[in-house]
Amino acid sequence: MNCDLARLILPEYLSQSLGESQELAFAAHLATCDACRAETERLGSLWRGLALLPDTLPEPGANVRDRFYESLAAYRHGLESAPKHGFKEKLAALWPKQAAFQMAISFALLVMGIGVGYEMQREKPVQPVVGSELAQLRGEVSNMRQMVALSLMQQQSAGERLRGVSWAYRVESTDTEVLSALLTTVNNDDSVNVRLSAVGALHAFGASPVTRAAIVQSIRKQTSPLVQIALIELLVDLKVTDAAPELKRLASDNTIDLSVRERANWALGKLLQ
């Protein structure tokens, strides 16, 4: 063995992953070569030190685990339970391929199961779980966040729907399913808190003309001045200048709460300056 080859396999020697014959050859080279022996000692010390470094790193926060299990729980919620006002019908409206969606998730989790099984027993061949009923599934589970957001937004408890809205912040801003679910929440949710946070979540979707038009239309549908003001402020944030005529009508409409009319006036000033 020459020095070049010895250097190439030095890290493997240090991690004790050389085959027996190579290890012997390496040791034989060290016995005759001071340079390689010295290098092996120096790098070996660093190599062992590296193994201790992970203990100096911080641990992931507990929220990582919470978020993960929250998403799993949301899956099971969405799949195993049928909460109030016809969850399945609502879901079907959101996804025309609802059955495929359910199957796709089952399929996804099965595949994960294969991963685990494979890891536990590498020597055993992996059993093919993909049967004919699964093989036809091409409905892509495009985004787990989307599913979690949509699923949670359908839940009975306002707390869970709030969490659903917070998940909506994490989807792509081009996600039309989540956008339509958010708009439905803004217009129809029973809880003012949930509606308010959904208004906040719409901000990320502000580039879409659908969003901009829907925000304008939503103001009159609202019963809570708080939500109306939040929508008006969102129009200003998103610089929706098209909203000016509607804002003018709102500002001069006596049936609207005074604080909302004042905010509409302020928004007009902002948008038209």
Partner 1 sequence: MAAVGSGEVQKLAVLFERHHRGLFRYFVSMNRNRELSEDLVQDVFFRMLRYRASYDAQQSFTAWMYQIARNASVDQAQKRRGEVIGIDEFTEHKPDLSPGPEESAVRGQDLRLLRLALDRLPADKRELLVLSRFQGMKYDELSTVLGCEVGTVKVRVYRAMRALEQAYLTISGEKTA
Contacts of 9 (CB under 8 A, 6+ apart): 18, 22, 26
Reference 214, options 188, 183, 250, 174; nearest CA is 183
Instruction: From the list partner 1, Zn ion, none, pick the one residue 258 interacts with, judged by a Cβ distance below 5 to 8 Å according to partner type.
Output: none
Structure tokens at 58: 């911080």
Please say which residue, 27 or 271, places its beta carbon nearer to partner 1: 27
Name the one range near Zn ion by CB under 5 A: 33-41, 66-74, 163-171, 261-269.
33-41
Backbone angles phi, psi at 17, to 5 degrees: -115, 15
Instruction: From the list partner 1, Zn ion, none, pick the one residue 15 interacts with, judged by a Cβ distance below 5 to 8 Å according to partner type.
Output: partner 1
- In a 13 Å sphere around the CA of 20, the CA atoms on its Cβ side amount to 0
Question: What does the alpha-carbon distance between residue 56 and residue 48 come to, in Å, rounded to a whole number?
Answer: 14
Q: Is 30 in the site for partner 1 (CB under 8 A)?
A: no
Q: Contact letters (x/-) for partner 1, 76-95, by CB under 8 A? A: x--xx---------------
Encoded amino acid at 15, one letter: S
Name the one range near partner 1 by CB under 8 A: 7-15, 174-182, 188-196, 214-222.
7-15
Give the interface size with Zn ion as a residue count (CB under 5 A): 3
In the 8-state DSSP scheme, what is residue 54?
G
Q: Which of 10, 18, 36, 268 binds Zn ion (CB under 5 A)?
A: 36
Please say which residue, 60 or 96, places its beta carbon nearer to partner 1: 60
Q: Burial, 45: exposed, middle or buried (Cβ in 10 Å; 0-12, 13-18, 19+)?
A: exposed
Instruction: From the list Zn ion, partner 1, none, pick the one residue 3 interacts with, judged by a Cβ distance below 5 to 8 Å according to partner type.
Output: Zn ion
Q: Which of 1, 25, 114, 226 binds partner 1 (CB under 8 A)?
A: 114
**40 neighbors 48 (Cβ within 8 angstroms):** no
Instruction: From the list Zn ion, partner 1, none, pick the one residue 111 interacts with, judged by a Cβ distance below 5 to 8 Å according to partner type.
Output: partner 1
Instruction: From the list partner 1, Zn ion, none, pick the one residue 255 interacts with, judged by a Cβ distance below 5 to 8 Å according to partner type.
Output: none
**204 neighbors 169 (Cβ within 8 angstroms):** yes
- The CA-CA-CA angle for residues 182, 169, 84, to 5°, reads 40
**239 neighbors 233 (Cβ within 8 angstroms):** no
Residues forming the site for partner 1 (CB under 8 A): 7-12, 15, 17, 42-43, 45-61, 63-65, 67-69, 71-72, 75-76, 79-80, 102-103, 105-106, 108-119, 126, 133-134, 140-145
Residues forming the site for Zn ion (CB under 5 A): 3, 33, 36
